[in-house]
Amino acid sequence: AESELVRSQRYESLALLAGGLSHDLRNILQPLLIAAPMIAERAGTDPSVRKFATMIETCAKRGMDMVASMLSFARGARQINPHLVVAQLFRATDLLLQGTRPRTMALEIEVEDEDLSVAGNETELQQCLLNLCLNAIQAMPPDGTLTLAAGRSELGRGDILEDEAAVPGEYVRLSVIDTGMGMSEEVRARLFTPFFTTKEGGTGLGLLSCRRIVENHQGVLRVHSRPGMGTRFDIHLPLRNVLPAAAQERAFDGAGRHV
Sequence-separated (6 or more) residues with CB below 8 Å from residue 6: 203
52 vs 196, beta carbon nearer ligand ADP: 196
Sequence-separated (6 or more) residues with CB below 8 Å from residue 164: 215, 220
Using CB under 6 A as the binding rule, whether residue 13 contacts ligand ADP is answered as no
The secondary structure element, H or E, covering residue 57 is helix 47-75
Using CB under 6 A as the binding rule, whether residue 196 contacts ligand ADP is answered as yes
C-alpha–C-alpha distance, residues 173 and 154, integer Å: 9
Among the residue ranges 14-22, 23-31, 109-117, 195-203, the one whose residues contact ligand ADP (CB under 6 A): 195-203
Identify any residues that bridge with 111 across adjacent strands, giving them in sequence order: 150
Q: How far is the CB of 214 from ligand ADP (least distance, A)?
A: 13
Using CB under 6 A as the binding rule, whether residue 88 contacts ligand ADP is answered as no
C-alpha–C-alpha distance, residues 247 and 217, integer Å: 10
DSSP string, 222-241: EEEE-TTS-EEEEEEEESS-
- Nearest residue to ligand ADP, using CB? 206
Using CB under 6 A as the binding rule, whether residue 197 contacts ligand ADP is answered as yes
Using CB under 6 A as the binding rule, whether residue 199 contacts ligand ADP is answered as yes
Identify any residues that bridge with 225 across adjacent strands, giving them in sequence order: 231
With CB under 6 A as the contact rule, the residue among 67, 231, 236, 238 that binds ligand ADP is: 231
Using CB under 6 A as the binding rule, whether residue 202 contacts ligand ADP is answered as yes
Using CB under 6 A as the binding rule, whether residue 145 contacts ligand ADP is answered as no
With CB under 6 A as the contact rule, the residue among 204, 222, 242, 248 that binds ligand ADP is: 204
Residues that bind ligand ADP (CB under 6 A): 131, 135-136, 139, 178, 180-181, 183, 187, 191, 196-199, 202-208, 231
